[in-house]
Chain A
Amino acid sequence: MAAKTLTIDGKQITAEEGETILQAATEAGIKIPTLCHLEGVYDIGACRLCLVEVTGTPKLLPACTLKVAEGMEVSTDTERLRKYRRMTLELLFAERNHVCAVCVANGHCELQTLAYSQGLDHVRYEYTFPKWSVDNTHRLFGMDHNRCILCTRCVRSCWHIEGAGTKNVSGRGGKSRIITDLNQPWGDSESCTECGKCVMSCPTGALFKKGSTVGESVRDRDKLEFIVNAREKKQWNA
């Protein structure tokens, strides 16, 4: 495969054709913030946190879906990008009810970690305080829609890693929500294999193992990667 030479934040790197900017940057040790990206499932470029600037292109582009090209000049950490990232995060916080102090994922939440790392100390937008429900019907797991950021990582891992297709998104815009089967209580789902991959994928405290209390929900992301490597590459490196 043809190699491409490009620069990311002034650093000259080579990447293989077909790779994304996110992959190339990660290999070069440059960290780009992400939220909807999850190793092992395809990217959809939904959260816009990984936006980067490309010289000669006025639009900001998501690094997780942008493919490398010869001679590309990419910046990942400009003032303009930091401004947009903070805005995106603020909107996520304002859209649902993220009360970290009582969340199972407190301290292990990707949204929270990102907010800290981007220096977010207050939200300028009005909180919407929507009334979302909690689905506690499943034997092992629960879902709190108040903490869902609609990244669809659970949907993609349920469908493409586990293969069950139990979860999907219903509706659109502000009414979008994660559903189970035909919008049934999770506990009634016939397709759910109870594998827990959706819970492992969730960046926030929206999906949790039953019985976890504040701050207890540590994500087992390595397990997901292990499964993906085993299934796709036939490599069992636990």
Chain B
Amino acid sequence: MSSNSTPVETPPAKNGTQAGHASGDKRFKILEVHMKKHQFRHDALIEVLHKAQELFGYLEDDLLLFISHKLKLPPSRVYGVATFYHFFTLKPQGQHTCVVCMGTACYVKGADQVVEAVQNELKIKAGETTADNKVSLLTARCIGACGIAPAVVYDGTVTPRQTPASTLEKINQWVKS
């Protein structure tokens, strides 16, 4: 395929400042800014989890740990709150995860068609996992990559300018593997 589906390069952290998270994933930085807005207060936990879910589509252990470090809360507390509310989705079942950004910019560039294509192909709805546990489909709300809309995150890698065709290609690789 063309440059369309190459993962976004992670820019090296400038002048030694560590940007958010060791992975360099920009979404951690955005989340950290959000936490800062709340002065890293303990009682902002639910609010922060909401934001994290918007950014990532689901709450992975690594992400919960990041939040617990930044808010200086016991990981067990963060995990407890994240599992108490039905609204939050923890790491999905599937071996692979496909998170389609449905934020405004991505939506107007056709993210809804991407979701629909995947739903029809895999016969699952967003938020579900295929019966063979291969793929989980999720949606997020603005992952902070509007410039490359519509963006899809395949197994944690933010990928720019996706179309139903490019997404299905990726997904079918997983299904066949």
A interface residues (Cβ-Cβ under 8 A, vs B): 159, 164-172, 179-183, 191
Contacts and interface: CB of A to CB of B under 8 A. Distances in A.
B21 interface: no
Contacts of B84: 169-172
A164 B75 CA distance: 10
Given A182-B61, A182-B64, A191 B80 contact: no
B65 A170 contact: no
Contacts of B73: 165
Q: Which of A164, A168, A171, A179 has the most CB of B within 10 A?
A: A168
B74 A183 contact: no
B177 to A, nearest CB: 28
Given A166-B76, A181-B75, 20 more contacts: A159-B77, A165-B73, A165-B76, A165-B77, A166-B74, A167-B76, A168-B77, A168-B80, A169-B80, A170-B79, A170-B80, A170-B83, A171-B83, A171-B84, A179-B79, A180-B76, A182-B61, A182-B65, A182-B76, A191-B74
Q: Which of B76, B77, B78 has the most CB of A within 10 A?
A: B76
Interface of B: 61, 64-65, 68, 73-80, 83-84
A183 B76 CA distance: 7
Chain A residues touching B, majority SS: loop
A187 to B, nearest CB: 15
Contacts of A172: 83-84
Contacts of A164: 74
Contacts of B80: 168-170, 179
Chain B residues touching A, majority SS: helix
Nearest to A165: B74
A182 B79 contact: yes
Nearest to A175: B83
Contacts of B64: 182
Contacts of B77: 159, 165, 168
Contacts of A168: 74, 76-77, 79-80
Contacts of A182: 61, 64-65, 68, 75-76, 78-79
A32 B64 CA distance: 41
Contacts of B78: 182
B149 to A, nearest CB: 33
22 contacts: A165-B73, A165-B77, A167-B76, A168-B79, A169-B80, A169-B84, A171-B84, A172-B84, A179-B76, A179-B79, A179-B80, A180-B76, A181-B74, A181-B79, A182-B65, A182-B75, A182-B78, A182-B79, A183-B79, A191-B74, A191-B75, A191-B76
Contact of B74 (A159, A169, A170, A171): A159
A189 to B, nearest CB: 9
What are the 5 tightest A-B residue pairs by CB atom distance, in nearest-first order?
A165-B74, A168-B76, A168-B80, A170-B83, A181-B75
A220 B75 CA distance: 27
A216 B80 CA distance: 32
A170 B59 CA distance: 14
Contacts of A167: 76
Nearest to A170: B83
A180 B79 CA distance: 9
